[in-house]
Amino acid sequence: MSSDDPRPPSDDARRPDDALRPDDADLRPGDDAAADDGLLIRLIGEAFDATVAPPGHLEDFARSAHRLVLAEAELAEISDDSLVSARYRGDERRLRFVTPRVVLELEVVGASIMGRADGMDGLDRLVVESAAGTEQSVPVDTAGMFELAEIPTGPVRLRVPLSAALPSDETDDRFESIVTEWVVLRSRP
Amino acid sequence: MTEPSTTELLTAAAAGDQAAWSSLVDRYSRLVWHVIWLVGARGAIAEDIYQTTWLRLVEYRDRIRDPERLAGWLARTARNEATRQGKLAARQRPVDEIDLLGLAPVIDLSSEPEPGHAVAEGDVLTRIWSALERLGDDCRQLLGLLATAPDLTYREVAEVLDRPIGWIGPTRRRCLDKLAAVPEVRSVMEASIE
């Protein structure tokens, strides 16, 4: 049965097991469950907790992720990623990050990236940060092009220090840098 | 003393409160990991998905529209990252494996726990886990998600599992009935009710 099933709700319409109306999409599947079902679901949850626990080093990472907040940074969101976009057909992965005044475009070729920063006059460098804590300064040429031969594995982000570019009328004094969203460009082996 | 709400924790974390952030991690870490596991990711890919999911929350900590629905937001984010990273991994090292959820073929849908994760030793939980393993992938994924994240709505469950909303209720019923019919599970249920 699809969510727009034309059949009228059953007599027991409040029980989502039997008939789900479109308006019920915000109910929880466990609402109105029978007592046995609740017990079974609880036992399954306990079995999962006992069997599939997140590794401790990952939880430590998550707790410390808060330190990666850059309060004075403007977030450049992913607007396109050829991995999940139907618009691209090429073999190479292409990504596009945008803020209202800057566009960063990346092309991933094997373990390297080639990119272009558009919208920041005089930008001469940017920084590639990994979630593991490494930082690499990458020179940017006068056309805004940059290249990194060896992308770190795991989550990375690009940080553009505004001090590395010429001020413009568009410069927002609230921000010291622009950072992209975290993204994995290269999986760990 | 009552537990702080997720809204309170997220608001405090967005204002820089590390303790509040840690509490959010404690509250939702298992949910994130279980979703990643349920969609079939394992090993280094699963770790990258987990890390990226929490980093995404760091980035959007002050832009979550409905903080009380954070469980759904995290589950969807983990699922989306699994899709993205599954495709990336498939480009890097394609292998032949079944892809039941539309994720990359490198994602392993076997029900084997990660090395180092001991199967539950409690007799009851061992029997439940063993019975779950014998159900199909659909049942294991749906019941696992409902059990690990009971607050998710139909809409959120549908998004995480990439299924129509109308699939959930009937499948849930069928899977619970199948599970309850397993003799070891039936005996556990009877003992619990008595």
> Residue B39 has which token pair?
């969609």
Q: Can you give the pLDDT at residue B33?
A: 96
Concatenating the DSSP letter of every residue in B143-184 gives HHHHHH-TT--HHHHHHHHT--HHHHHHHHHHHHHHHHTSHH
Cβ B125–A83 below 8 Å, yes or no?
Answer: no
Q: What is the pLDDT of residue A18?
A: 42
> Can you tell me whether residue A43 is helix, strand or coil?
helix
Q: Say what percent of chain A tops pLDDT 70.
A: 79
Is residue A165's pLDDT more than 80?
A: no
Distance, C-alpha A84 to centroid of its chain: 12
* Contact partners, residue B108, CB within 8 Å, separation at least 6: B40, B41, B42, B43, B97
Q: Which residues of A touch B64 (CB under 8 A)?
A: none
Query: What's the pLDDT at A2?
Result: 38
The verdict on a CB contact (< 8 Å) between A27 and B47 is no
| pLDDT beyond 90 at A26 | no
The rounded distance, in Å, linking the Cα atoms of A53 and B29 is 9
Amino acid B11 reads: T
DSSP conformational letter for A119 = S
Q: Does A154 touch chain B (CB under 8 A)?
A: yes
pLDDT, one tens digit per residue, over B113-127 is 444 444 444 588 888
Alpha-carbon gap, residue B122 to B150, rounded angstroms: 23
Is A6 within 8 Å of chain B by CB? no
Given an 8 Å threshold on Cβ–Cβ distance, is A61 in contact with B119? no
Nearest CA distance, B89 vs chain A (angstrom):
6
B79 in Cβ contact with B62 (< 8 Å): no
Q: Does A84 sit within 8 Å of B147, measured CB to CB?
A: no
On whether the CB atoms of residues A72 and A80 are closer than 8 A, the answer is: no
Q: What is the pLDDT of residue B115?
A: 43
Q: What pLDDT score was predicted for residue A70?
A: 72
For tokens 């498939």, what's the residue?
B90
Q: Could you give the CA distance from residue A35 to residue B174 in angstroms, rounded to a whole number?
A: 16
pLDDT class for A148, splitting at 50, 70, 90? very high
- Residues 12-31, chain A: which have Cβ within 8 Å of B? 16-20, 22, 24-30
Angle between helices B43-60 and B18-38 (to 10 degrees): 140
Q: What is the pLDDT of residue A63?
A: 96
Residue A119, pLDDT score: 86
Q: Considering CB atoms only, which of A47, A63, A187 is closest to B125?
A: A47
Phi, psi of B179 (to 5 degrees): -65, -45
Q: Do B18 and A66 touch (CB under 8 A)?
A: yes
B41 Cβ partners below 8 Å, 6+ apart?
B49, B82, B85, B86, B103, B107, B108
ipTM: 0.82
C-alpha B105/C-alpha B90 separation (Å) is: 6
Task: Tell me if A83 and B164 make a contact (CB, 8 A cut-off).
Answer: no
CA dihedral (B87, B93, B96, B98) positive or negative: negative
- pLDDT category of residue A11 using cuts at 50, 70 and 90: very low
Residue A159, both tokens: 């940080």
Q: What is the pLDDT of residue B121?
A: 47
C-alpha pair distances (Å), A117 with each of A43, A88, A96, A142, A155: 53, 20, 10, 10, 20
Q: What is the pLDDT of residue A186?
A: 92
pLDDT in tens, A121-139: 888 999 999 999 999 999 9
Task: Indicate the residue of A20, A36, A48 with minimum beta-carbon distance to B189.
Answer: A36
pLDDT for position A168: 66
Q: Which residues of chain B have pLDDT under 50?
A: 95-121
Compute the distance between CA of residue A17 and CA of residue B105 in angstroms, rounded to an integer: 32
Burial of B152 (0-12, 13-18, 19+ CB in 10 A): buried
User: A34-65: per-residue pLDDT in tens?
Assistant: 667 888 999 999 988 888 999 999 999 999 99
The torsion of the CA quartet A146, A152, A158, A161, rounded to 10 degrees, works out to: -80
How many residues make up chain A in this entry? Answer: 189
Rg of chain A over all Cα atoms, to the nearest angstrom: 24
pLDDT of residue B95: 46
pLDDT at B194: 64
Task: Determine contact, residues A68/A57, Cβ cutoff 8 Å.
Answer: no
Q: Which two tokens stand for residue A29?
A: 């599947």
- The alpha carbon of residue B125 and the mean position of all alpha carbons in its chain are separated, in whole angstroms, by 18
Cα–Cα distance measured from residue A12 to residue A19, given in angstroms and rounded to the nearest whole number: 8
Pairing of strands A145-148, A112-118: antiparallel
The SS3 assignment for A5 reads: coil
